[in-house]
Structure 1
Amino acid sequence: IDLIEYPALKDVIVLQTVYEELRHLNLTIYNRLKKVIEDRQRRFYVFSNEHRRETYVERLKEESPNDRNDRAIREAVKWYTSHLQESPTNDHKVVLLSDDVANRKKAISEGLLAFPVEKYVESITETPELVNMLRKMSVSDDSENKFTYDEYLSPAQIANGLKDGTLYQGTLSISMHNYLEGSITPVIDGQENQIMIIGRPRMNRAIQGDVVAVQLLSKSEWLRTPSAVIVEEDEESAILQDLNEAEISLDQTSKDPESSGELQPTGRSLNRYCGFINKKTTDSSGQARSEHVTVIPMDRRIPKIRMVTRQARNLLGQRILVAIDSWPKHCMLPQGHFKRILGPAGDKTTETEVLLLEHDVPFQDFSKQVLSCLPFEGESWKVTNEYLSRTNFTHLNVSSIDPPGCEDIDDALHVRILPNGNYEVGVHIADVTHFVKPGTPLDEEAAIRGTTVYLVNKRVDMLPALLGNNLCSLRADVERLAFSCVWELNDDADVVKTQFTKSVIISKAALTYEEAQRRIDDLHMEDDLTKGLRILNQLAKKLREKRIERGALTLASPEVRFQLENGSQDPVDVAAEEMKELHETNALVEEFMLLANISVAEEIFRKFPESSLLRKHPPPTSSKLEKLSKTINEFGLTLRYDSSRTLAESLDKAVIPEEPYFNKLLRILTTRCMMQAAYFCSGSIPQKEFVHYGLATQIYTHFTSPIRRYSDIMVHRLLEACIDENLSYGSELTDIKKITQLCEVLNYRHRMAQQAARSSVELHTHLFFKNKKEKNEGFVTRTLKNGFIALIPRYGIESIVLATQKSGMTPPVVYNTRTNSLDSTSSSTKIKLFDKVLVQISVNEDLIGEGAGGMRQKLKIELVEPFISGFSVSVSEENNSIRKSDEEIGIQVKRMKMD
């Protein structure tokens, strides 16, 4: 199927016999083939040979179904050969491609052209890389069968183990800094618990993202030692060392609340990975022949992959896509095959494609079928008389408030004073569902993409630009369709009445946060729009007070924004204009969007108690917050976390006057103790679990961003069904199983989008620091066995500071389990959580073979102060630029929207 998906392969006839058999054998591969056939540029055609008199064959007596199908294939090839001979040019040949030796021999004996797939591909000299796709290693090809992994349990054994509670299931998450450490977070007795899996033998060939079944070890084997950073690039040596260390004696271990276990995969999420060939594993003779090479994935959590290729020299220096085929139990590394070249290492376009592929982000151009669903008028589309049945809000002072340069404007607001003295406040959301109809190619593509993905240098849209940036976008001074949530609020911002309606609006102004803030602050401005903004701001403050009183959390996350050069789009600096605290208008918009989401959640749950698409945020596990609480106790501070309200109050009080960044750092670390918010179907869990902990609300959903989130599109459809009794709808709004599956996809896409955005920041950070060294203040956010993780507020970046140990020498630091600190072995200096340190930032120029460098080089953070012999580095002032602390430079700390 990889070969078939390769763009260079065209003019292919797929027989109905084969197509139908594939559908029954493997639905996933069938769907991939179907997608290729739908691409008209590839010229793949399905020939209905089973429905044509000249090619249909009856099954003979005592003939097996497989033999009958083989005969049907040969008859179809015969007919096509005869049919094309009638062509005036008569220059077309029909070739039967089959790896079935018996079928091929019979075809040749019947006068047909028949080849094994590999031989045919070898004849296509214009694309020699196609051969690599067919090169699969045999089990005996692996270097040395030095050890054996455990056999996997049978599906029946796994099912029984999960049922009787001896096994636990979850998705394997590998540590970013230690590929021999993983974990899953299953629900045990109604609570999520983390189970650690330490070492490659216990991971038993499972890969990042696999769904696995875990069996717990005895409690005497649970480890408490902190994670160590692994920089060993010789993975085979590291694994063998890990095997030896697995025989650790019991007196070297101690108990920990986090369990430990052994696992086996039960499902693989992805089998294609981006990487590069390690030059050390290639044949230095330069001869063109098949050779075994090792591919190093760009994602360090993925093991190296062994593959066979005849193009090793040509692939050096290239980013490539490879697929994992198998991982036999006696092979140290998984075995795979080449799929395609992505481009040269270091090329910005290539590196961006790599990170999108790494995070499984669909980024292909929208197909013709999708684009055919758009209004035929294109940009000339206008609201016409057929929409007069909607509520007309075009006379109101509606306006939008967004970041600078925003094109996909989802939301707008209005306010007016009612005769009784109360306020009418409207949140108007782009009516995307008017254009995106259920079951259309446009709808299906949006559901697959799930969300718009924002990278440093580009945006990958969920919807075509005609909709997202134009027809749906609530631009100023044009009629637009909206779905409106309108409240009557009293002076205390209490909701008196709520109305939902499809509407038509004209935004009177598309403001930035700063522009809206200037209007509010400038007392000389007394126009109706500005007066309305001031009323909205006062009401938003009251809504926020109520939310905080209920226990809503205000957490923080560091954020870095780059100033890009116009031509090259290279980062030239951190954008100084973004390094500032948020305006009141940010909170203004946030409060009304949160209120709209809560109001809509309550409405759709009334109508669809079993099939509403909602969003929950479970309470954090106490064990993580307990560790953080013990740490801040050393500063004379208390962190209470028996409820979100007590936690919020504790965070507000946790201030150290002489260290202004402490409270921000504490909120960042508290954020990391939180569970992830997630979409769910209301009928899939008890109502008591609907709670959104961070927002302190009993029910919540996403309604306000349908241009960039498919969840909101589904919620719009549910809400429309609530307000329109005559609306007909299908199982897409009532099928609990379907909606639950959709929620799983949306949660995955949301998670991948966040990770892709972080990787994009990391990629541009490396480019920004290329060829420069810089000193900066940082704070310790985690201690490890052989180093610590530091957050540099100036850039919002976090990285490992590694204490390397020279062979035969005493390590410069040792981990102290009692104080959770790194203690110097040559002085009384200690490094612990929250400590301020001075570090040197640069890009590591040490490459792992050819093709590992360019924009994906590693950021190198080295300790400067406090000075620890063998750990700290000496810095020459003339070779370093020095950045001051956050008191002297504006720090942007992004207030987390806990939705």
Structure 2
Amino acid sequence: MLFSKSFIKKTKKGSVIKIVKEHYLRDDIDCGIPSCSSCKTESQLTDGPYIIPDTNMLYHQIDLMEHQGMQNIIILQTVLQELKHKSLPIYQRIRNLIPKKQIYVFCNEHHRETFVKTEMGESPNDRNDRAIRRATEWYVAHCNKNNFILVTDDRDNRQKAIKQGLAAKSVREYVETLPFKDILDLVANHDEVLDAQNSFTYPEHLSQIQISAGLKSGAFHQGVLSISGHNFLEATTIIKHNNEEKTIHIVGREHLNRGIQGDVVAIQVLPESEWKSSISTIVEEEVAEDLNVDEKEKIDLVPTGKVVGIIKRNWRPYCGTIDVSSVQQTSTLSAVQSVFFWSMDKRIPKIRIKTRQAQDLVGKRIIVAIDSWEKNSRYPAGHFVRVLGEVGDKQTETEVLLLEHDVPFAPFSPLVLSFLPEEGENWIVQDKHLANRRDFRGWDICSIDPPGCTDIDDALHAKLLPNGNYQVGVHIADVSHFVKPENAMDLEAQRRGTTVYLVDKRIDMLPGLLGTNLCSLRSNVDRLAFSCIWEITPQAEILSCEYTKSVIRSKNSFTYDEAQARLDDPNMNDPVSLGIKALNTLAKQLRKKRMEAGALTLASPEVRFRMENDSQDPVDVEMKELKDTNALVEEFMLLANIYVAKKIYDTFPDSSLLRRHPKPPANNFEPLIKAVAPLGIEIDPSTSKTLSDSLDNAVLPSDAYFNKLIRIMTTRCMMQAVYFCSGTLSEPDFWHYGLASPIYTHFTSPIRRYSDLQVHRLLAACIGYEKDYSSDLVDKTKVKEMCDGKMIINLVLNYRHRMAQQAARSSVELYTHLFFKGKTLQEEAYVIRILKNGFVVLIPKYGVEGIIYSSPNPDEPAVLTLNAEENVLVNGNIRIGLFNKVKVQITVNEAGEAGQRSKLCLELIEPSIKGMVKPAESKPKAKKQKTKK
């Protein structure tokens, strides 16, 4: 049977076309029930009962669906199609479940007896509900059994099903019949939850229609919420106002209006009379009241706004612990309790969950998902997902940080590994690989990397030409030879986006056979490469550049120290050493030119851990030392990235994958400008050149570290560099602010960054090496989506890059705490931020930041008082302001009974202020536990 329907559609170009869709109905679609005598198709279903879920059950209860107790599920085509339109990530999770569980997909939309037409005036939702009921009804009649249960939380749908004589239950009613202790905790909670102690009503969110109208009129602005790490009741967002990017502060519970870190929100900028002080307050735990700024503190005002609506939620599963103070000690272990969950991410408010396992979950790292946040509930409501392990266990804490930053870390699947070369480790370069490649195996090429580096992406060479100029080459691993577009290995690399470097291990983007062997440019073996070859004058003027696929044989794999030794030894005159010396001379001149153009030299307090061999526990911490050879490699990698960017953009102006660093909003620098002014130092961020000059002049003769400190603080005023598609922006917006370069991309690390692999494919097409490349490679829409699109299962380069950076920082934080465990140390520190109730310090020796509170105990009067006008904390004649040098005592407060993350505790030793140091015998006050008798 055939139905056809036609409709008129307007295209993006404005033309009108007629679309005709044909819908075929069949009689031979099997039911998938094993005991059915008329249908013979095999399925994974066993003897009933069977459940038929609606779309919202799959959408809201995905964690429940993944539980082993959920079996014998019939998913209707109607439901699957509706879910795909509603949420692609959840649709993908359901599709991944189908081969693993007792699930059968029934094509009810193409079955003659289950297809339903839309009735006059019927909404799509009502039509789909009717289709689900019709399919359930057909199953009962077809199998002559009443063991098919329609599971839906839609009360109206349930009542209609029951009137038709069908078995219908809510999700909770069905799950309560299952013999699994933990499964009820997985049921997502969508009921309104009132805070029994302190009810609170948020402003109503505006509808999407109201938001859209406000955005068009300019009354509202769209932004992404960035919650403060010191205070979850303060946030910033960057908006475009009068064609200028501006940072807007959102302060207080009501103005945040249920916005969570990463949410895309509609912001209304408040009138100047409601702007707030730039001085923040540290908040470690929930407080009942919002924080307001006293009138006398209303100086250094910053623009503020409020959230009027949510455009897109950024909710995700959160790792953390149960708040032990909310757990009732009861003899009835299976009793349902409403308890609070603290996320490891301090920017997330506490989440209320209902669980029967409350007492068992204390002291465990668990995962919780948010289900809803009603306007009359102070906190969001969620549900328990699973236990990760014990609090404080190193392996558990590492898994937590990977999950928290959404880092894919599962082993590579057999399907992915099947695309590795069949020869495995025995693969070698053969004549068949050399077509259209230049043979550089006789050249004096070497690599320079950190100690222990096994994934060597790049190698270099330099040699003097007869005309007195230099030939310089950057040779990059040709990963694209092994990873072909759209196969399983390529899709997995794209999903991972980047290799993630933790303190104790590496989460690879590519399987080890490629990353640390066949693609790694190890010395004394033939390797396939992609090379940039320049002719450069002794004054570092670039005369020409060519790009070619090549084969190389690196002569040496140096560490930075080993290469530095070659530089420093005048007696080392072999070809490789002379090449390194020539590269160093040219690199210094190239760097000088970049600096003169306005490139920035910023800084970060990076540390390196020395690990104990057996336990892999940190036994020492040292600052990373940068040598000439570090700068040498960096300079030529930058040069290669810039020249490749020019090449691919010249050939593919609409679809090149580039990287830009936006100019930071001017008001990002205002606190820093005001902070250094009393020292006679001026910071001018109007251009990267003026900022670079300002930083060079920001010197205190009495303090050698001061200039690095200023550069660290300047880094925090910056925007994040991002990938983008060249066809989506005008050329002036390509500018890379930090490098002062009009165009830039990533080409030099294809083993560990998917962006570079994609750029290799573009460059190969540019030089004619790849003549049969896919149209997707130069599809502007596809490139844009790859950079920062709709985040279909998070295949987005910018997102993956950002998460990898944050995971690496969290790993450093974890190992820093392990290093300080059981120790009490006193070190010099610098004040880098003044807050209303304390100050933040940076300890240069360890690259550690921490907070010192104005009072060592929260329930005692402050020892230090804020003088907001001068931005200093005062006690008598003692004044603590920005850049002051202090001495602090460092200890680690282990994760206690409450199960929170272990915390670095700092106490002020010098200047000595009475009352600032806790008595040795004092301990933090434990929260009282509620006891149910």
Tell me the TM-score normalized by structure 1: 0.88
Per-residue displacement from partner, 1:686-722 (whole Å, max 9, x unpaired)? 2112111221211111110111111112211221121
Judge conservation of contact 2:498–2:753 (CA < 8 Å) in 1: yes
Q: Greater shift after overlay, 683-692 or 623-632?
A: 623-632
- Structure 1 pair 477–7 and aligned structure 2 pair: CA distance change class (3 A): farther
Whole-angstrom CA distance in 2 between matches of 1:12 and 1:58? 20
Cα contact 1:221–1:253 (8 A) shared by 2: no
- Tell me if the contact between 1:221 and 1:250 (Cα under 8 Å) persists in the aligned partners: no
CA contact (8 A) 1:816 1:822 kept: yes
User: Paired residue for 1:411, among 444, 451, 458?
Assistant: 458
Match of 2:133 in 1: 70
Equivalent residue for 2:184?
A: 131
Partner of 2:544: 497
* Stretches of structure 1 lacking an aligned partner (at least 5 in a row): 83-92, 877-899
CA positional deviation for 1:598: 0.5
- Which shifted more, 176-185 or 672-681? 672-681
Does 2:763 match 1:719? yes
Matched to 1:431, the amino acid is D
The Cα shift of 1:782 comes to 0.9
Equivalent residue number for residue 294 of structure 1 = 340
The corresponding residue for 1:176 is: 229
Alignment partner of 1:194 out of 247, 254, 266:
247
User: Which residue, out of 170, 190, 206, partners 1:153?
Assistant: 206
1:303 pairs with 2:349: yes
Residue matched to 2:582:
535
Counterparts of 1:806 and 1:49, CA distance in 2: 64
Structure 2 portions without partners, runs of 5+: 1-61, 120-125, 789-795, 922-933
Q: CA deviation at 1:650?
A: 3.1
- Identify the match of residue 741 of structure 2 among 682, 687, 697: 697
| Cα contact 2:272–2:303 (8 A) shared by 1 | no
Provide, for residues 291-328 of structure 1, a one-character-per-residue CA deviation record: whole Å limited to 9, x for no partner. 21111111111011111111112212111111111111
Aligned residue in 1 for 2:527: 480
Equivalent position of 1:280 in the other structure = 325
1:680 aligns with 2:711: no
Distance 1:376 1:332, change over 3 A: same
Distance 1:49 1:80, change over 3 A: farther
- Partner SS state of residue 160, structure 1: helix
Secondary structure, aligned partner of 2:276 = coil
Deviation string, structure 1 residues 312-360 (Cα, Å, up to 9, x no partner): 1221211111111111100111001111111111111111111112222
Match of 1:351 among 397, 411, 420: 397
In 1: Cα distance, 2:873 partner to 2:178 partner:
60
Q: Distance in 2 between matches of 1:113 and 1:626?
A: 65
Match of 2:805 in 1: 754
Tell me if structure 2 keeps the 8 A contact 1:823–1:829: yes
Deviation at 1:162, TM superposition (A): 1.0
Q: How many pairs were matched up?
A: 844
Q: Which residue of 2 aligns with 1:162?
A: 215
Q: 1:497 to 1:811 in 2, by over 3 A?
A: same
Q: 1:413 is aligned with what amino acid?
A: L
- What is the one-letter code of the residue matched to 2:184? V
Corresponding position of 1:241? 289
- Where does residue 339 of structure 1 map in the other structure? 385
Matched position secondary structure for 1:776: strand
Q: Tell me if 1:866 matches 2:927.
A: no
1:15 and 1:73 in contact (8 A); partners too: no
Aligned partners of 2:894, 2:804: CA distance in 1, in Å? 29
Once the 2 structures are TM-superposed, how far is the Cα of residue 872 of structure 1 from its aligned partner? 4.6
Residue equivalent to 1:397: 444
- Alpha-carbon distance, 1:78 to partner: 7.5
Change (3 A) 1:289 1:806: closer
- For 1:765, the aligned partner's letter is T
| Other structure's SS at 1:561 match | strand
Question: Does residue 1:35 correspond to 2:83, yes or no?
Answer: no
RMSD: 3.0
How far off its partner does 1:641 sit? Answer: 3.9
Q: Secondary structure at the match of 1:487?
A: strand
Of 605, 613, 627, the residue aligned with 2:657 is 613
Name the residue aligned to 1:442: 489
Q: Deviations along 1:852-885, whole A, 9 cap, x unmatched?
A: 2xxx211101111112233356889xxxxxxxxx
Query: Which stretch of the first structure deviates more once superposed, 146-155 or 63-72?
Result: 63-72
Instruction: Go from structure 1 to structure 2 and tell me whether the alpha carbon gap of 1:515 and 1:201 turns closer, same or farther (over 3 Å shift).
Output: same
1:655 to 677, 699, 714: 699
Deviations 1:580-611 (A, max 9, x none): 63221111111110100010011111111122
Structure 1's 394 and 60: CA in aligned 2 closer, same or farther, altered over 3 A?
A: closer
1:783 partnered with 2:834: yes
1:507 matched to 2:570: no
One-letter identity of the residue aligned with 1:72 = A
Query: Which whole-Å CA distance do the structure 2 matches of 1:51 and 1:195 have between them?
Result: 49
CA displacement at 1:104 relative to structure 2: 8.8
* Alpha-carbon offset, residue 640 of structure 1: 4.0
8 Å CA contact 2:227, 2:236 repeated in 1: yes
Q: 1:52 to 1:519 in 2, by over 3 A?
A: same
Q: Which one-letter code corresponds to 1:628 in the other structure?
A: L
CA–CA distance in structure 2, aligned partners of residues 678 and 850 of structure 1:
39
Query: Structure 1 pair 636/21, CA: closer, same or farther in 2 (3 Å)?
Result: closer
Deviations along 1:449-485, one digit per CA (max 9) or x if unpaired, are 2211111122111222222112211112222211111
Q: Distance in 2 between matches of 1:468 and 1:357?
A: 23
Does the CA contact (< 8 Å) of 1:408 and 1:707 recur in 2? Answer: yes
Matched, 1:371 2:417: yes
Residues 370-424 of structure 1 deviation map (CA, whole Å, 9 limit, x = unaligned): 2233223322222222222111111212211100111111101122233333221
Partner of 1:572: 619
Whether the 8 Å contact between 2:129 and 2:157 is mirrored in structure 1 is no
Kept in 1: contact 2:564–2:628 (CA 8 A)? yes
Aligned residues of 2:248 and 2:302 also touching (Cα < 8 A): no
1:851 matched to 2:899 = yes
Is 1:269 matched with 2:332?
no
Structure 1 residues 142, 301: closer, same or farther in 2, change over 3 A? same
Judged with a 3 Å threshold, the aligned counterparts in structure 2 of structure 1 residues 633 and 433 are, in CA distance, closer, same or farther, namely: same
Distance 1:455 1:32 in 2: 27
**Alpha carbons of structure 1 residues 440 and 44: separation in structure 2 relative to 1, 3 Å:** farther
Look up the equivalent residue of 1:149 and give its one-letter code.
Y
Residue in structure 2 matched with residue 430 of structure 1 by the alignment: 477
Task: Map residues 871-882 of structure 1 onto 2, 5 A cutoff.
Answer: 871-872=916-917
Find the counterpart in structure 2 of residue 326 from structure 1.
Answer: 372
- Name which of structure 1's ranges 562-571 and 481-490 shifts more when overlaid on structure 2: 562-571
> SS at the partner of 2:846?
coil
2:301 match: secondary structure:
coil
Deviation at 1:254, TM superposition (A): 4.7
Change (3 A) 1:764 1:520: same
AA partner of residue 96 (structure 2): K
Give, in whole Å, the separation in 2 of the partners of 1:259 and 1:350: 40
- Change in CA separation of 1:501 and 1:13 when aligned onto 2, cut-off 3 Å: farther
Cα shift at 1:200: 0.6
TM-score (norm: length of structure 2): 0.85
The aligned counterpart of 1:842 is 891
Alignment of 1:757-776 (within 5 A): 757-776=808-827
Deviates more, 1:553-562 or 1:797-806: 797-806
**Aligned partner letter, 1:678:** V
After superposition, give the CA deviation of every residue in 1:833-860 in whole Å (9 maximum; x if it has no partner): 111000010112574x5322xxx21110
Q: Percent identity?
A: 51
Return the alpha-carbon distance in structure 1 between the equivalents of residues 861 and 326 of structure 2.
Answer: 33
Contact 1:411-1:430 at 8 Å conserved across structures? yes
